[in-house]
């Protein structure tokens, strides 16, 4: 029996890309997946497909930038299952642009989703994990959390923040709660569709020609979950073999 069997796993940004692929994989391995995103039509379809395949899934509309929304998402899952084993803070935005384009609104969106969204997941889940004396946060960063690229300064800053927050959390929660950071390289997803700057759009099309499928990231996430409780996999970087970054 998989050690993922019967674990209750909450996934933000579950309507596409890494979140969707991870939900399908973990459900196949016996987890009860709880799906959160803003696009409920996609969540409903995904949950139905997981159930048809023999898995367990429920969903709820979620805006991670709203703390009350995140709290309700976590509380609903806890009420339904009586426990929460894993929270995957996966929701993210990547509207890249040079700083002199002054896309301040897009900067704020990335800060709200990529940083506050992770903090809200921690705020909603940590009291439950501490009471249970068990649990795991899996926070999705990026190779952009390890190096800064022109045109991606704010995005990279948000992903560096995910690393810093996760490491601080790991040091604070100690023996009972596991903290994992997954840093994907170029991965097939809808992230690039949020880019509005024409020059960055063209550059990203070239950059993404070697993208790996989101299932590759899902397998890394599953690996971190299935470790024994006394083993905390703190960070995994997953990128295309051909990637120079």
pLDDT category at 244 given cuts 50, 70, 90 is confident
pLDDT category at 207 given cuts 50, 70, 90 is low
Tell me: pLDDT of 242 over 60: yes
Tell me: pLDDT of 1 over 60: no
User: pTM for this one?
Assistant: 0.94
Q: Does 104 reside within a domain?
A: yes
Residue of 155, 158, 177, 216 with catalytic role: 155
Say how far apart CA 143 and CA 14 lie, in whole Å.
20
Q: Does 2 reside within a domain?
A: no
Q: Does 242 reside within a domain?
A: no
Q: Note the pLDDT tens digit of each residue in 36-87.
A: 999 999 999 999 999 999 999 999 999 999 999 999 999 999 999 999 999 9
* Alpha-carbon dihedral angle through residues 36, 43, 238, 197, given to the nearest 10 degrees: -90
CATH number, position 20 = 3.40.50.720
State the chain's mean pLDDT as an integer. 93
Q: Does 71 reside within a domain?
A: yes
Q: Does 1 reside within a domain?
A: no
Q: Note the pLDDT tens digit of each residue in 116-154.
A: 999 999 999 999 999 999 999 999 999 999 999 999 999
Cβ atoms within 10 A of the Cβ of 74, count? 25
Are the C-beta atoms of 94 and 103 separated by less than 8 Å? no
Pair of tokens at residue 124: 């909603």
Identify the DSSP state of 29.
T
Q: Does 66 reside within a domain?
A: yes
Q: How many domains does the chain have?
A: 1
Are the C-beta atoms of 105 and 33 separated by less than 8 Å? no
Say how far apart CA 115 and CA 132 lie, in whole Å.
26
Identify the DSSP state of 115.
I
Is 155 an active-site residue? yes
Say how far apart CA 164 and CA 154 lie, in whole Å.
15
Cβ atoms within 10 A of the Cβ of 190, count? 12
Percent of the chain with pLDDT over 90: 84
Pair of tokens at residue 123: 């705020």
Task: Mention every residue, 6+ apart, whose C-beta is less than 8 A from residue 105.
Answer: none
Q: Does 119 reside within a domain?
A: yes
Question: Could you give phi then psi for residue 182, rounded to 5 degrees?
Answer: -110, 125
Domain of residue 62 covers 8-237
pLDDT category at 243 given cuts 50, 70, 90 is confident
Say how far apart CA 59 and CA 37 lie, in whole Å.
8
Pair of tokens at residue 71: 């709290």
């Amino acid at each position: 029996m998989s050690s993922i069997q019967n674990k209750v796993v909450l996934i933000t940004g579950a309507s596409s890309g890494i979140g969707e692929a991870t939900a399908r994989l973990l459900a196949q391995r016996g987890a009860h997946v709880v799906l959160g995103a803003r696009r409920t039509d996609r969540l409903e379809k995904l949950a139905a497909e997981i159930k048809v395949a023999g898995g367990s899934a429920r969903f709820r509309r979620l805006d991670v930038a709203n703390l009350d929304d995140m709290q309700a998402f976590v509380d609903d899952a806890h009420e339904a299952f009586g426990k929460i084993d894993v929270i995957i803070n996966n929701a993210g935005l990547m509207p890249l642009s040079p700083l002199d384009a002054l896309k301040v609104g897009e900067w704020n969106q990335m800060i709200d989703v990529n940083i506050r969204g992770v903090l809200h997941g921690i705020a909603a889940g940590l009291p439950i994990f501490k009471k249970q004396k068990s649990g795991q946060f899996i926070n999705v960063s990026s190779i952009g959390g390890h190096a800064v690229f022109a045109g991606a300064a704010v995005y990279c800053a948000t992903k560096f923040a995910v690393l810093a927050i996760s490491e601080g959390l790991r040091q604070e929660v100690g023996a009972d709660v596991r903290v994992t950071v997954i840093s994907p390289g170029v991965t097939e997803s809808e992230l690039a569709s949020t880019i509005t700057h024409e020059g960055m759009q063209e550059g990203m099309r070239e950059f993404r020609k070697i993208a790996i499928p989101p299932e590759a990231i899902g397998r890394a996430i599953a690996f971190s979950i299935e470790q024994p409780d006394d083993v905390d996999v703190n960070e995994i970087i997953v990128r295309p073999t051909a990637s120079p970054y």
